[in-house]
Chain A
Amino acid sequence: MKPFAPEEKAAQPPSLFPDFRSSVTRAPASAPLKIPQTLTETTGPAGNGIWERLMGGNATDLTKQYKGEPLGERIIVSGRVLDENTRPVPNTMVELVQANPSGRYAHNYDQHDAPLDPNFTGVGRCITDAEGRYRFITLKPAAYPWANGPNTWRPAHIHFSIAGPAFATRLVTQMYFPGDPLFPLDAIACAVPEWARDRIVCRFDLETTMPYWALSYLFDFVLRGRDATPMEN
């Protein structure tokens, strides 16, 4: 059994980032205790058909989940799930949650004064193929205000959850769009050190755009990879 390489801690946000107000009461008081990876940490829900059994099948076109066409700018978001050695991670679950193009989530606690669209929910699932590829057709989400400060706005973003091959490789993150003026002002994005911040911004790609139909953005997720040295066991 080979353990996974250490987390790249320098590139990760800290637990406590005071500019992000809710982290003040929700960051753990004590530092975590380092433990060796055991079979518990180097395994995870992986293997043929396991995600369909757990959650159900793919839902990759978010514009076709209802009878009517949703309103907003159609986009393609695609890329690969890789490990840090740039090896593809096949057959793993990529989950997507986002606000609609008015900046509203299909969530009962979202109080933003912006309309829901009965033809758009903003959820999707895609199990990666043999090359680790995923692809969603969705609508570009909008910015929305949040109560972090007197006049604070989240930049447009999409929430992603990636299982990866093991409990140790899990990733939950947010993907942002290039050139967003709200991005450098955002307390959540800025919890990531500046030098690593472009890792959570997607890339506009004319090549994969579908002419006369939808613009395209590319984003690769990079998970922890296998360590070079085997464990004693």
Chain B
Amino acid sequence: MDELTIAGESFSSRLIMGTGGAPSLDVLDQALEASGTELTTVAMRRLDPAARGSVLDVLRKRDIKVLPNTAGCFTAGEALLTARLAREALGTNWVKLEVISDERTLLPDPIETFDAAERLVAEGFVVLPYIGDDPALARRLEQAGCAAVMPLGAPIGSGLGIRNPHNIELIVEAASVPVILDAGIGTASDAALAMELGCDAVLLATAVTRAQRPDTMAAAMRAAVEAGRLARLAGRIPRRRYAEASSPMTP
């Protein structure tokens, strides 16, 4: 597999995993191993003295780079504080910027996201913003200095796949930074489609962690991302309205 490069850092896996939704750290560990991921998100929350084990230990053992997110933030101000705390706690200036508009849809708020992105870039963060499938916003965030853009396929945890493949293609066509399809993946064919559309990577969590067999689905996602990437690089045949014989028509 050709390498994915984000902000000058290279990854041989194009599957970025989330850690939310796994029933236990053991199940998560097995799924992460099967996925082959090298970059995985975590959330920042109040320390619980009763918590046993840490997701950080799992990632460290597997030598997976940690990507803190700002999940749960509704304003640019909240996202800024969360990113600064993550940098302090985890020693990374990378952040998946996620500012949501409401709890029912969990859709990203474009205004707050853009505001936070500008301020985080100015503070030296490597910013990967989660956004709607909006080509104009993706372009503006790239111009603002974001290291990648992360358009959704469908709402978080919905498993609805890629609802607007055309917009994802438009984002890919215009982008000079990596495009990472984030949210909405339900099964392997969704991940393959994202890569066929030209996305540079896929980020998913729920589709694996809440599958009946997470490690098996993780292996499926890994294969799907690789297959989709290869198909993209191979260049697919054009779609035709009618048949085109692949065997000679003359006797």
- A, B co-complexed: no
Residues in B lying within 8 Å of A, measured CB to CB: none
